[in-house]
Protein backbone atom coordinates (compact mmCIF):
# COMPACT_ATOMS: atom_id res chain seq x y z
CA UNK A 1 0.00 0.00 0.00
CA UNK A 2 1.50 3.32 -1.06
CA UNK A 3 1.81 6.18 1.43
CA UNK A 4 1.84 8.73 -1.38
CA UNK A 5 -1.24 10.95 -1.94
CA UNK A 6 -3.40 9.66 -4.80
CA UNK A 7 -3.38 13.05 -6.51
CA UNK A 8 0.40 13.46 -6.35
CA UNK A 9 2.77 13.16 -9.30
CA UNK A 10 4.89 10.81 -7.20
CA UNK A 11 1.98 8.35 -6.93
CA UNK A 12 1.33 8.54 -10.68
CA UNK A 13 5.02 7.98 -11.46
CA UNK A 14 5.16 5.03 -9.08
CA UNK A 15 2.08 3.30 -10.49
CA UNK A 16 3.14 3.96 -14.08
CA UNK A 17 6.55 2.47 -13.32
CA UNK A 18 4.96 -0.67 -11.89
CA UNK A 19 2.78 -1.10 -14.98
CA UNK A 20 5.68 -0.49 -17.37
CA UNK A 21 7.76 -3.02 -15.43
CA UNK A 22 4.95 -5.56 -15.82
CA UNK A 23 4.95 -4.93 -19.58
CA UNK A 24 8.73 -5.39 -19.73
CA UNK A 25 8.16 -8.71 -17.94
CA UNK A 26 5.80 -9.84 -20.71
CA UNK A 27 2.34 -8.73 -19.59
CA UNK A 28 0.00 -6.81 -21.88
CA UNK A 29 -1.91 -3.63 -21.14
CA UNK A 30 -4.94 -5.55 -22.39
CA UNK A 31 -4.63 -7.76 -19.30
CA UNK A 32 -6.15 -4.95 -17.22
CA UNK A 33 -2.99 -3.55 -15.69
CA UNK A 34 -4.48 -0.06 -15.43
CA UNK A 35 -7.49 -1.48 -13.63
CA UNK A 36 -5.30 -1.99 -10.57
CA UNK A 37 -4.81 1.77 -10.17
CA UNK A 38 -7.16 3.84 -8.01
CA UNK A 39 -9.73 5.54 -10.31
CA UNK A 40 -8.75 8.95 -8.94
CA UNK A 41 -5.24 8.60 -10.32
CA UNK A 42 -5.96 6.46 -13.37
CA UNK A 43 -6.04 9.23 -16.05
CA UNK A 44 -2.65 10.60 -14.93
CA UNK A 45 -1.14 7.13 -14.71
CA UNK A 46 -2.53 6.14 -18.11
CA UNK A 47 -0.98 9.22 -19.71
CA UNK A 48 2.42 8.33 -18.26
CA UNK A 49 2.17 4.64 -19.18
CA UNK A 50 1.11 5.14 -22.77
CA UNK A 51 3.47 8.05 -23.34
CA UNK A 52 6.51 6.34 -21.85
CA UNK A 53 5.85 3.12 -23.81
CA UNK A 54 5.47 5.01 -27.08
CA UNK A 55 8.79 6.73 -26.31
CA UNK A 56 10.48 3.62 -24.90
CA UNK A 57 13.03 3.37 -27.73
CA UNK A 58 14.14 6.93 -27.04
CA UNK A 59 14.15 6.59 -23.25
CA UNK A 60 15.99 3.27 -23.26
CA UNK A 61 18.66 4.72 -25.54
CA UNK A 62 19.27 7.68 -23.20
CA UNK A 63 19.12 5.57 -20.06
CA UNK A 64 21.78 3.22 -21.41
CA UNK A 65 24.11 6.24 -21.58
CA UNK A 66 23.22 7.51 -18.14
CA UNK A 67 23.87 4.23 -16.28
CA UNK A 68 27.28 2.71 -15.75
CA UNK A 69 25.76 -0.78 -15.87
CA UNK A 70 22.26 -2.16 -16.63
CA UNK A 71 19.80 -2.02 -13.73
CA UNK A 72 18.76 -5.36 -12.32
CA UNK A 73 15.57 -3.95 -10.76
CA UNK A 74 12.85 -3.56 -13.40
CA UNK A 75 10.67 -1.18 -11.37
CA UNK A 76 13.53 1.29 -10.81
CA UNK A 77 14.47 1.15 -14.48
CA UNK A 78 10.82 1.70 -15.40
CA UNK A 79 10.57 4.61 -12.95
CA UNK A 80 13.55 6.29 -14.61
CA UNK A 81 12.03 5.78 -18.06
CA UNK A 82 8.69 7.23 -16.97
CA UNK A 83 10.43 10.19 -15.31
CA UNK A 84 12.54 10.87 -18.42
CA UNK A 85 9.38 10.90 -20.53
CA UNK A 86 7.72 13.34 -18.12
CA UNK A 87 10.76 15.62 -18.04
CA UNK A 88 10.92 15.78 -21.84
CA UNK A 89 7.21 16.46 -22.24
CA UNK A 90 6.88 18.90 -19.32
CA UNK A 91 10.11 20.93 -19.47
CA UNK A 92 8.58 23.72 -17.38
CA UNK A 93 8.43 21.42 -14.36
CA UNK A 94 11.65 19.40 -14.56
CA UNK A 95 12.77 19.93 -10.98
CA UNK A 96 9.34 18.99 -9.66
CA UNK A 97 9.48 15.80 -11.71
CA UNK A 98 12.89 14.90 -10.31
CA UNK A 99 11.76 15.50 -6.73
CA UNK A 100 8.55 13.51 -7.20
CA UNK A 101 10.43 10.65 -8.86
CA UNK A 102 12.71 10.48 -5.82
CA UNK A 103 9.65 10.32 -3.55
CA UNK A 104 8.30 7.51 -5.72
CA UNK A 105 11.61 5.66 -5.47
CA UNK A 106 11.24 5.82 -1.70
CA UNK A 107 8.27 3.43 -2.01
CA UNK A 108 10.33 0.76 -3.77
CA UNK A 109 12.71 -1.69 -2.11
CA UNK A 110 12.92 0.27 1.12
CA UNK A 111 13.94 3.44 -0.67
CA UNK A 112 17.52 2.32 -1.24
CA UNK A 113 17.48 3.59 -4.84
CA UNK A 114 16.42 7.14 -4.05
CA UNK A 115 19.97 8.43 -4.50
CA UNK A 116 20.42 6.62 -7.78
CA UNK A 117 17.15 8.00 -9.21
CA UNK A 118 18.06 11.51 -8.09
CA UNK A 119 21.57 11.25 -9.56
CA UNK A 120 20.52 9.78 -12.91
CA UNK A 121 17.78 12.35 -13.51
CA UNK A 122 19.95 15.31 -12.53
CA UNK A 123 22.72 13.94 -14.73
CA UNK A 124 20.20 13.78 -17.56
CA UNK A 125 19.39 17.47 -17.08
CA UNK A 126 23.09 18.31 -17.36
CA UNK A 127 23.57 16.18 -20.49
CA UNK A 128 20.16 16.67 -22.07
CA UNK A 129 21.27 18.54 -25.19
CA UNK A 130 23.97 16.01 -26.02
CA UNK A 131 21.65 13.06 -25.37
CA UNK A 132 18.89 14.50 -27.55
CA UNK A 133 21.41 15.00 -30.35
CA UNK A 134 22.60 11.41 -29.96
CA UNK A 135 19.02 10.14 -30.21
CA UNK A 136 18.47 12.11 -33.41
CA UNK A 137 21.60 10.54 -34.90
CA UNK A 138 20.51 6.98 -34.09
CA UNK A 139 17.83 5.70 -36.55
CA UNK A 140 16.25 3.17 -34.18
CA UNK A 141 16.18 5.44 -31.14
CA UNK A 142 14.81 8.33 -33.19
CA UNK A 143 12.07 6.16 -34.69
CA UNK A 144 11.11 4.71 -31.28
CA UNK A 145 10.34 1.35 -32.90
CA UNK A 146 12.28 -1.95 -32.81
CA UNK A 147 14.79 -2.37 -35.63
CA UNK A 148 13.00 -5.40 -37.12
CA UNK A 149 9.71 -3.49 -37.15
CA UNK A 150 11.36 -0.62 -39.02
CA UNK A 151 12.82 -3.06 -41.54
CA UNK A 152 9.36 -4.48 -42.23
CA UNK A 153 7.91 -1.02 -42.81
CA UNK A 154 10.81 0.15 -44.96
CA UNK A 155 10.53 -2.90 -47.21
CA UNK A 156 6.75 -2.67 -47.58
CA UNK A 157 6.31 1.11 -47.73
CA UNK A 158 9.55 2.75 -48.96
CA UNK A 159 7.78 6.06 -49.57
CA UNK A 160 5.52 6.02 -46.50
CA UNK A 161 7.34 4.24 -43.69
CA UNK A 162 8.46 7.43 -41.96
CA UNK A 163 4.88 8.73 -41.87
CA UNK A 164 3.70 5.39 -40.44
CA UNK A 165 6.37 5.56 -37.73
CA UNK A 166 5.55 9.18 -36.91
CA UNK A 167 1.84 8.32 -36.57
CA UNK A 168 2.68 5.39 -34.30
CA UNK A 169 4.55 7.69 -31.93
CA UNK A 170 1.64 10.10 -31.47
CA UNK A 171 -1.42 9.87 -29.22
CA UNK A 172 -4.33 8.41 -31.22
CA UNK A 173 -7.23 10.43 -32.57
CA UNK A 174 -10.72 9.92 -31.15
CA UNK A 175 -13.49 8.92 -33.51
CA UNK A 176 -17.19 8.38 -32.91
CA UNK A 177 -19.79 6.24 -34.64
CA UNK A 178 -23.32 7.60 -34.48
CA UNK A 179 -26.04 5.00 -33.88
CA UNK A 180 -28.20 5.60 -36.94
CA UNK A 181 -31.05 3.68 -35.37
CA UNK A 182 -31.42 6.48 -32.84
CA UNK A 183 -30.38 9.65 -34.66
CA UNK A 184 -28.60 11.03 -37.70
CA UNK A 185 -24.96 11.96 -37.86
CA UNK A 186 -25.75 15.58 -38.68
CA UNK A 187 -28.19 15.86 -35.78
CA UNK A 188 -25.63 14.43 -33.38
CA UNK A 189 -22.95 16.77 -34.72
CA UNK A 190 -25.21 19.69 -33.80
CA UNK A 191 -25.58 18.27 -30.29
CA UNK A 192 -21.82 18.05 -29.94
CA UNK A 193 -21.38 21.62 -31.06
CA UNK A 194 -23.97 22.72 -28.50
CA UNK A 195 -21.81 21.34 -25.68
CA UNK A 196 -18.59 22.76 -27.11
CA UNK A 197 -17.16 19.59 -28.68
CA UNK A 198 -15.62 20.21 -32.09
CA UNK A 199 -15.96 17.43 -34.68
CA UNK A 200 -16.27 16.81 -38.40
CA UNK A 201 -17.98 14.08 -40.44
CA UNK A 202 -16.05 10.99 -41.58
CA UNK A 203 -17.53 8.09 -43.55
CA UNK A 204 -21.23 7.25 -43.44
CA UNK A 205 -21.81 7.44 -39.68
CA UNK A 206 -18.52 8.68 -38.24
CA UNK A 207 -17.29 11.82 -36.56
CA UNK A 208 -13.66 12.77 -35.96
CA UNK A 209 -13.17 14.82 -32.80
CA UNK A 210 -10.73 17.71 -32.82
CA UNK A 211 -9.67 16.70 -29.29
CA UNK A 212 -10.37 13.60 -27.21
CA UNK A 213 -13.01 13.86 -24.48
CA UNK A 214 -14.25 11.54 -21.74
CA UNK A 215 -17.27 9.52 -22.85
CA UNK A 216 -19.33 11.04 -20.05
CA UNK A 217 -19.13 14.35 -21.96
CA UNK A 218 -20.81 12.84 -25.04
CA UNK A 219 -24.57 13.52 -25.19
CA UNK A 220 -26.62 10.37 -24.52
CA UNK A 221 -23.60 8.08 -24.63
CA UNK A 222 -25.07 5.90 -21.87
CA UNK A 223 -28.33 5.66 -23.84
CA UNK A 224 -26.52 4.34 -26.90
CA UNK A 225 -26.66 7.33 -29.21
CA UNK A 226 -22.99 7.06 -30.06
CA UNK A 227 -19.94 4.81 -29.66
CA UNK A 228 -16.22 5.42 -29.66
CA UNK A 229 -14.77 3.77 -32.75
CA UNK A 230 -11.92 4.69 -35.06
CA UNK A 231 -13.10 5.76 -38.53
CA UNK A 232 -10.85 3.13 -40.07
CA UNK A 233 -12.56 0.40 -38.05
CA UNK A 234 -15.92 1.62 -39.30
CA UNK A 235 -14.98 0.59 -42.83
CA UNK A 236 -15.66 -3.06 -41.92
CA UNK A 237 -19.44 -2.75 -41.74
CA UNK A 238 -19.47 -0.37 -44.70
CA UNK A 239 -17.56 -2.83 -46.90
CA UNK A 240 -19.35 -6.04 -45.86
CA UNK A 241 -22.74 -4.26 -46.04
CA UNK A 242 -25.04 -7.27 -45.54
CA UNK A 243 -28.54 -6.80 -46.91
CA UNK A 244 -31.50 -6.62 -44.55
CA UNK A 245 -32.53 -10.01 -43.19
CA UNK A 246 -29.15 -11.62 -43.88
CA UNK A 247 -27.69 -14.36 -41.73
CA UNK A 248 -24.36 -12.87 -40.60
CA UNK A 249 -21.38 -14.19 -38.65
CA UNK A 250 -18.94 -11.95 -36.75
CA UNK A 251 -16.30 -14.56 -36.06
CA UNK A 252 -13.89 -12.68 -33.75
CA UNK A 253 -16.30 -10.17 -32.30
CA UNK A 254 -14.96 -8.68 -29.06
CA UNK A 255 -15.25 -5.98 -27.92
CA UNK A 256 -18.24 -5.66 -30.22
CA UNK A 257 -17.76 -2.39 -32.09
CA UNK A 258 -18.01 -3.93 -35.54
CA UNK A 259 -20.84 -6.23 -34.42
CA UNK A 260 -22.84 -3.23 -33.25
CA UNK A 261 -22.11 -1.24 -36.40
CA UNK A 262 -23.46 -4.06 -38.55
CA UNK A 263 -26.66 -4.15 -36.50
CA UNK A 264 -27.02 -0.37 -36.54
CA UNK A 265 -27.11 -0.49 -40.33
CA UNK A 266 -30.13 -2.82 -40.52
CA UNK A 267 -32.03 -5.83 -39.21
CA UNK A 268 -30.18 -9.12 -39.53
CA UNK A 269 -29.74 -12.50 -37.88
CA UNK A 270 -26.26 -12.08 -36.39
CA UNK A 271 -24.11 -14.55 -34.51
CA UNK A 272 -21.08 -13.13 -32.67
CA UNK A 273 -18.29 -15.43 -31.50
CA UNK A 274 -15.25 -14.92 -29.33
CA UNK A 275 -12.83 -17.22 -27.57
CA UNK A 276 -13.22 -15.98 -24.00
CA UNK A 277 -16.29 -15.56 -21.82
CA UNK A 278 -15.07 -12.22 -20.44
CA UNK A 279 -14.69 -10.85 -23.95
CA UNK A 280 -18.15 -12.08 -24.91
CA UNK A 281 -19.57 -10.27 -21.89
CA UNK A 282 -18.06 -7.06 -23.24
CA UNK A 283 -19.85 -7.65 -26.55
CA UNK A 284 -23.14 -8.18 -24.70
CA UNK A 285 -22.63 -5.05 -22.59
CA UNK A 286 -21.95 -2.94 -25.67
CA UNK A 287 -25.01 -4.31 -27.45
CA UNK A 288 -27.19 -3.69 -24.39
CA UNK A 289 -26.10 -0.05 -24.17
CA UNK A 290 -26.88 0.42 -27.85
CA UNK A 291 -30.23 -1.40 -27.54
CA UNK A 292 -29.22 -4.00 -30.12
CA UNK A 293 -29.63 -7.77 -30.18
CA UNK A 294 -27.48 -10.62 -31.41
CA UNK A 295 -26.62 -14.14 -30.37
CA UNK A 296 -23.25 -14.08 -28.58
CA UNK A 297 -21.39 -17.35 -27.97
CA UNK A 298 -18.04 -18.38 -26.53
CA UNK A 299 -16.36 -20.43 -29.24
CA UNK A 300 -13.24 -20.90 -31.32
CA UNK A 301 -14.42 -19.86 -34.77
CA UNK A 302 -11.90 -22.19 -36.43
CA UNK A 303 -13.36 -25.25 -34.66
CA UNK A 304 -16.64 -25.59 -36.55
CA UNK A 305 -17.84 -28.66 -34.68
CA UNK A 306 -18.07 -26.64 -31.49
CA UNK A 307 -20.56 -24.04 -32.71
CA UNK A 308 -21.79 -24.35 -36.33
CA UNK A 309 -25.23 -25.86 -36.90
CA UNK A 310 -24.65 -26.46 -40.61
CA UNK A 311 -26.73 -23.52 -41.82
CA UNK A 312 -24.65 -21.34 -44.15
CA UNK A 313 -24.14 -17.62 -43.64
CA UNK A 314 -24.82 -14.91 -46.21
CA UNK A 315 -21.99 -12.74 -44.89
CA UNK A 316 -18.98 -13.37 -42.64
CA UNK A 317 -16.75 -10.85 -40.91
CA UNK A 318 -13.33 -12.35 -40.16
CA UNK A 319 -11.62 -9.65 -38.05
CA UNK A 320 -8.73 -11.94 -37.28
CA UNK A 321 -6.09 -11.78 -34.52
CA UNK A 322 -2.98 -9.99 -35.76
CA UNK A 323 0.16 -8.14 -34.69
CA UNK A 324 -1.89 -4.92 -34.26
CA UNK A 325 0.90 -3.07 -36.05
CA UNK A 326 -1.61 -0.59 -37.47
CA UNK A 327 -2.94 0.45 -34.05
CA UNK A 328 0.35 0.57 -32.16
CA UNK A 329 -0.27 4.10 -30.91
CA UNK A 330 -3.30 2.69 -29.04
CA UNK A 331 -1.34 -0.38 -27.95
CA UNK A 332 2.20 0.94 -27.42
CA UNK A 333 3.21 -2.14 -25.46
CA UNK A 334 2.83 -4.18 -28.66
CA UNK A 335 5.99 -2.64 -30.14
CA UNK A 336 8.06 -4.14 -27.32
CA UNK A 337 6.14 -7.36 -26.66
CA UNK A 338 6.03 -8.49 -30.27
CA UNK A 339 8.87 -10.38 -31.96
CA UNK A 340 9.49 -10.67 -35.69
CA UNK A 341 8.62 -14.37 -35.55
CA UNK A 342 5.14 -13.43 -34.34
CA UNK A 343 4.22 -12.28 -37.85
CA UNK A 344 4.49 -15.83 -39.18
CA UNK A 345 2.64 -17.21 -36.13
CA UNK A 346 -0.27 -14.82 -36.63
CA UNK A 347 -0.31 -15.50 -40.36
CA UNK A 348 -0.61 -19.24 -39.74
CA UNK A 349 -3.51 -18.71 -37.31
CA UNK A 350 -5.20 -16.35 -39.76
CA UNK A 351 -4.96 -18.95 -42.53
CA UNK A 352 -6.62 -21.57 -40.29
CA UNK A 353 -9.46 -19.17 -39.50
CA UNK A 354 -9.95 -18.21 -43.16
CA UNK A 355 -10.06 -21.83 -44.32
CA UNK A 356 -12.57 -22.74 -41.61
CA UNK A 357 -14.89 -19.78 -42.13
CA UNK A 358 -14.91 -20.25 -45.89
CA UNK A 359 -16.79 -23.49 -45.26
CA UNK A 360 -19.69 -21.77 -43.47
CA UNK A 361 -20.24 -19.17 -46.22
CA UNK A 362 -22.97 -19.93 -48.76
CA UNK A 363 -22.17 -19.87 -52.49
CA UNK A 364 -22.66 -16.28 -53.62
CA UNK A 365 -22.02 -15.01 -50.08
CA UNK A 366 -19.30 -12.59 -49.05
CA UNK A 367 -16.53 -12.77 -46.48
CA UNK A 368 -14.65 -9.69 -45.29
CA UNK A 369 -11.12 -10.43 -44.11
CA UNK A 370 -9.91 -7.70 -41.76
CA UNK A 371 -6.80 -6.93 -39.72
CA UNK A 372 -5.48 -3.93 -37.83
CA UNK A 373 -2.02 -4.64 -39.24
CA UNK A 374 0.20 -2.96 -41.82
CA UNK A 375 2.50 -5.96 -42.32
CA UNK A 376 1.95 -7.49 -45.82
CA UNK A 377 2.32 -11.11 -44.67
CA UNK A 378 -0.90 -10.70 -42.67
CA UNK A 379 -2.70 -8.76 -45.38
CA UNK A 380 -2.20 -8.91 -49.13
CA UNK A 381 0.17 -11.85 -48.81
CA UNK A 382 -2.39 -13.74 -46.74
CA UNK A 383 -5.11 -13.15 -49.33
CA UNK A 384 -2.87 -14.21 -52.22
CA UNK A 385 -2.10 -17.49 -50.47
CA UNK A 386 -5.78 -18.03 -49.65
CA UNK A 387 -6.87 -17.57 -53.26
CA UNK A 388 -4.30 -20.14 -54.33
CA UNK A 389 -5.94 -22.61 -51.93
CA UNK A 390 -9.50 -21.53 -52.71
CA UNK A 391 -9.80 -20.67 -56.42
CA UNK A 392 -13.55 -20.05 -56.09
CA UNK A 393 -12.74 -16.98 -53.96
CA UNK A 394 -13.14 -13.77 -55.96
CA UNK A 395 -11.71 -10.53 -54.51
CA UNK A 396 -14.32 -7.75 -54.77
CA UNK A 397 -12.63 -4.92 -52.90
CA UNK A 398 -9.35 -4.40 -51.06
CA UNK A 399 -8.15 -1.53 -48.89
CA UNK A 400 -4.91 -0.96 -46.99
CA UNK A 401 -5.41 1.99 -44.68
CA UNK A 402 -2.17 3.37 -43.30
CA UNK A 403 -2.34 5.22 -39.96
CA UNK A 404 -2.91 8.94 -40.29
CA UNK A 405 -4.02 11.82 -38.08
CA UNK A 406 -7.61 10.78 -38.84
CA UNK A 407 -7.62 6.99 -38.52
CA UNK A 408 -5.57 3.94 -37.55
CA UNK A 409 -4.09 1.34 -39.88
CA UNK A 410 -6.35 -1.44 -41.19
CA UNK A 411 -6.48 -3.95 -44.02
CA UNK A 412 -9.69 -5.18 -45.64
CA UNK A 413 -10.36 -7.63 -48.43
CA UNK A 414 -13.92 -8.50 -49.46
CA UNK A 415 -14.16 -11.96 -51.00
CA UNK A 416 -17.12 -13.44 -52.85
CA UNK A 417 -17.65 -17.20 -52.92
CA UNK A 418 -18.39 -18.17 -56.50
CA UNK A 419 -21.31 -20.55 -56.91
- The domain locations on the chain are 9-144, 148-172+231-419, 174-229
Compute how many other C-beta atoms are within 10 angstroms of the C-beta atom of residue 404: 14
**3-class SS of residue 196:** coil
pLDDT-derived band of residue 1, with 50, 70 and 90 as boundaries?
Answer: low
DSSP code of residue 170: S
Per-residue model confidence as pLDDT tens digits over 116-160: 999 999 999 999 999 999 999 999 999 999 999 999 999 999 999
Tell me whether the CATH fold assigned to 9-144 matches the one assigned to 148-172+231-419. Answer: no
Is the pLDDT at 55 greater than 90? The verdict is yes
Q: Tell me the CATH number for domain 148-172+231-419.
A: 3.40.50.150
* Average pLDDT over every residue of 357-374: 98
User: What is the share, in percent, of the chain residues with pLDDT greater than 70?
Assistant: 100
How confident is residue 109, by pLDDT bands cut at 50, 70 and 90?
A: confident
The 3-state DSSP composition of the chain as helix, strand, coil percent (nearest 5) reads 50, 15, 35
Residue 314: which of 271, 376, 377 has the closest Cα? 271
DSSP assignment of 145-163 = S-HHHHHHHHHH-TTTHHH
* Contact between 399 and 235 (Cβ < 8 Å): yes
- By CB neighbour count within 10 A (0-12 exposed, 13-18 middle, 19+ buried), where does 278 fall? exposed
In whole angstroms, give the CA distance from residue 278 to residue 273: 12
- For domain 174-229, the CATH architecture is 2-Layer Sandwich (3.30)
**Least confident residue range of 334-338, 357-361, 366-370:** 334-338
E strand or H helix that includes residue 337? helix 334-337
Active site residue 372: yes
326 close to 47: Cβ distance less than 8 angstroms: no
> Which of 252, 301, 322, 372 is the catalytic position?
372
Contact assessment for residue 168 and residue 403, using Cβ atoms and an 8 Å cutoff: yes
The domain defined by 9-144 folds into: N-utilizing Substance Protein B Homolog; Chain A (1.10.940)
Residues linked to residue 413 through DSSP beta bridges, in sequence order: 369, 398
Residue 45 has pLDDT above 80, yes or no: yes
Across 164-184, average pLDDT: 96
pLDDT band at 3 (very low <50, low <70, confident <90, very high): confident
Amino acid sequence: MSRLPLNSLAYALLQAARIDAAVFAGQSLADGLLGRVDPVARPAVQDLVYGSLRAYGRGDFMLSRLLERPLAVDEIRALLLVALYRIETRPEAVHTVVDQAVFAAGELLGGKFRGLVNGVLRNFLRQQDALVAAVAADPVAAAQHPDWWLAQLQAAYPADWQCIVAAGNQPPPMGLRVNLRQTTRDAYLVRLQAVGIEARPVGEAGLALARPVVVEALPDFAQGAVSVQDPGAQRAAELLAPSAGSRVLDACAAPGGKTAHLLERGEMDLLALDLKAARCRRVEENLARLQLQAEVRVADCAQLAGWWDGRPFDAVLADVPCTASGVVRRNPDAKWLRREADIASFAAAQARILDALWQVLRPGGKLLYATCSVFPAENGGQIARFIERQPQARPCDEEQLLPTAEHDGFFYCLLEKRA
